[in-house]
Structure 1
């Protein structure tokens, strides 16, 4: 399955994508909001999980490799995932190589994921979790029209420090009123 915007191509992962995943997930900037480092084995397992999801029938978890339209170079990934095949809601998320931050790519991806979730999958609600200090993720949720629904206090430990997680969500009727 392929999705695209004017600047981005969201394509299925291939086995050959793990080196690019390792490259960006190993950077200090990326690691700031993740609890552990990334090894070759981690990157391979990360990609293999998404390859397995591609085989699900019916499909209920989608995770795409993100590439620039003009070149098929992986610069991150994004996805929309139900908790089980019949769930009326799904979580969205994205990650981008730090050298591509500040170009508004996540807003393009997020809008595409919302449209896909509400129109193609038929979801009622889409939500996102983000570390409270991750200003980029918080800003993205707000730009997508999501409302803060809750705060999970000190539920994630990253290198010995506890962090709150914010929960953002949007209902189909709210999304329809904004598009």
Structure 2
């Protein structure tokens, strides 16, 4: 089976959503899964390489953010499978399917990492809000609720990043 077909493939399930809806939802969540994996690895890139006056605080913040994203990776993957889908979550898929721009590897300054992550969290926050709307339209309140939970946390971390950048 082709990869694109696997992302929306569903097995029989007793979940009371039509198979067509479950297939579309699995595809939506698989896209989010790729972006979440990519965002987590970009946050770890910042965590490992940050330097400067606020090193310790940023190092800790970035690690906390990556840990939270790791939990969301698992939640998204498990939701796909609960709906009868196949979670496609390898690093290769994440790299090829993510909407996020590549992380600037050469930066070390804390402010530059904050700016790069704020840009990426903003893109990801929009993607997550779109997930709320799309899954709600497909009559899957549980998945929409999962996206809502993630959205609140992503907005909080975007606020943290932007607060560090304020004068």
- Pairwise same-fold verdict (TM > 0.5): no
TM-score normalised by L of structure 2 = 0.31
More strand by share: 1
Larger Rg: 2
Name which structure has the greater RCO, CA cutoff 8 Å, separation 6+.
2
